[in-house]
Amino acid sequence: MPVWRSMSAKPMIKIVTEPPSTGLTYTTCSAINGTVDLCAHEDLTLKDVRISLIGCGRRSLEVGRNGSRSSDEWIFLSLHMPIDGQALETCCNVPARQQRPIPFHFRVPRQLPTGTCNHTKIAPCLQDQHLCLPPTICSEGADAMCPDLISIGYYIEVVIETDTTVTPSRSILPQDHRFRERLEVTILPTFPEEAPLDLESHSTTFMPRATLSLKRHILGRTLGHVEANAYQPNAIMLKANGGAPSTSSVHIGLAFSPHSETVSIPHVERVCGDLVSNTYFGPRVLHEWPQRLPEAQHTIDPLLNYKVTTPIINYAPGELNWTEGSVLMAVSRTCYRTSLEIPFGVHHVRNKRFMPTFHCCLFSRTYTLVLKIAFSGGQSIRVTVPLQVGVEDSMTQESLDPQGARPPDY
């Protein structure tokens, strides 16, 4: 058994997960197994051992006009592993210079305990969301498209209390007999695909429909009217085990009403799409879908939005098949219609780490897909729709639970 060498009087505490948590992402129902390894330079008698899985959010906000900041911490998850008295008795005596492993076992819960969110006046669509575990967010490593003012972390924490009444008088242990150690773990909970948003009630944020007076050139006469209608695409689903995210496609319907029969149907040269990541945070609880809050309320109750734009679509549709349809906008008797199905994904985006769409009590992440449809002649039309990013439950039982579901043996 290895003996740790240290001149420190403190007992050494090491939290080790099996398999090692470095580079590992846990998801909903994953087992987090491991040991807390204790070692000291003299005999140690443990009075209490508390091993917990903690979820914690932090935010740092500017207060006042001098730029000073206030930071606060929000514990939203605190699971304690029960260690009964008999089990503690068997591991309470740690002989000097010998390593004593204390096993632990956690399972990432499906949701937070009911009492975690006791906020009132939460919009009905967000009530369940406030009880979902948020994903780990930190600005280190790949760009998570989040400001460094906020973070969400999970860690295994152990607090041990030594029994000073049985410690020999020659003890070199410090008077403080409570010791604490933490190990950060990364958690990406599953987020199933939600039903599409009701865009009517989000009309100030999204613009799925837009029209354009099409001209031969910028100062030329109007050739007709184009109307574009985009629909919310299926969600992009991330994989908690690090696999490639799923792809999706966005459907755009186009209608063209020429001003005269001599006008030819326009040519769609290119469709470009930007994915805008919105991270909302502020001094208060997010009680409403952030994109639905009126601008005036943002002023009274400043809600900050950290936006990052990522180009993900650059699509040349080629020749489209237009069909003659019903009259549009009463500007002509004829109307031509066509549609586009444009595939897209985020798997090719480098140096960015996509988070799922989520709404916890203090932070919120949403995505908007901004589409620009360019016609020959230089004009373009712009539509915006929401996009959900979810997390698939793609883990096999074996990968969820590499050591089996049984509690640890002492």
**Cβ contacts of residue 280 below 8 Å, gap of 6+?**
286, 290, 303, 304, 305, 363, 364, 365, 366
Residue closer to Zn ion, measured from CB, 59 or 130? 130
Residue closer to Zn ion, measured from CB, 346 or 361? 361
Residue closer to Zn ion, measured from CB, 64 or 115? 115
In 82-138, DSSP assigns E strands to: 93-94, 100-107
Q: Calculate ∠ Cα 388-390-393, nearest 5°.
A: 160
Residue 315 near residue 275 (C-beta atoms within 8 A) = no
Site for Zn ion in 49-108 (CB under 5 A): none
**Cβ contacts of residue 166 below 8 Å, gap of 6+?**
45
Residue closer to Zn ion, measured from CB, 4 or 74? 74
Decide: is 287 part of the binding site for Zn ion (CB under 5 A). no
Residue closer to Zn ion, measured from CB, 77 or 369? 77
Residue closer to Zn ion, measured from CB, 237 or 361? 361
Site size toward Zn ion (CB under 5 A) is 4
β-pair partners for 249: 343
Residue closer to Zn ion, measured from CB, 117 or 252? 117
Q: Calculate ∠ Cα 115-116-118, nearest 5°.
A: 70
Q: How long is the chain?
A: 410
- What's the rounded Cα separation, in Å, for the pair 103 and 81? 10
Site for Zn ion in 356-395 (CB under 5 A): 361
Smallest gap from residue 56 Cβ to Zn ion (A)? 15
Q: Which amino acid is at 222?
A: T
The binding track of 317-356 with respect to Zn ion, each residue x by CB under 5 A or -, is ----------------------------------------
Residue closer to Zn ion, measured from CB, 100 or 359? 359
Decide: is 130 part of the binding site for Zn ion (CB under 5 A). yes
Smallest gap from residue 123 Cβ to Zn ion (A)? 11
Element (H, E) at 386: strand 380-387
Is cis: bond before 113, omega within 30 of 0? no
Smallest gap from residue 383 Cβ to Zn ion (A)? 33
Smallest gap from residue 112 Cβ to Zn ion (A)? 9
Element (H, E) at 214: strand 209-215
- Our CA dihedral for 263, 264, 270, 272, rounded to 10 degrees, sits at 40
Smallest gap from residue 358 Cβ to Zn ion (A)? 12
Smallest gap from residue 116 Cβ to Zn ion (A)? 8
Site for Zn ion in 99-128 (CB under 5 A): 117, 119
Smallest gap from residue 290 Cβ to Zn ion (A)? 13
Smallest gap from residue 178 Cβ to Zn ion (A)? 32
Strands lying side by side in the sheet with 222-230: 209-215, 222-230, 248-258, 335-344, 323-325
| Binding site residues, Zn ion, CB under 5 A | 117, 119, 130, 361
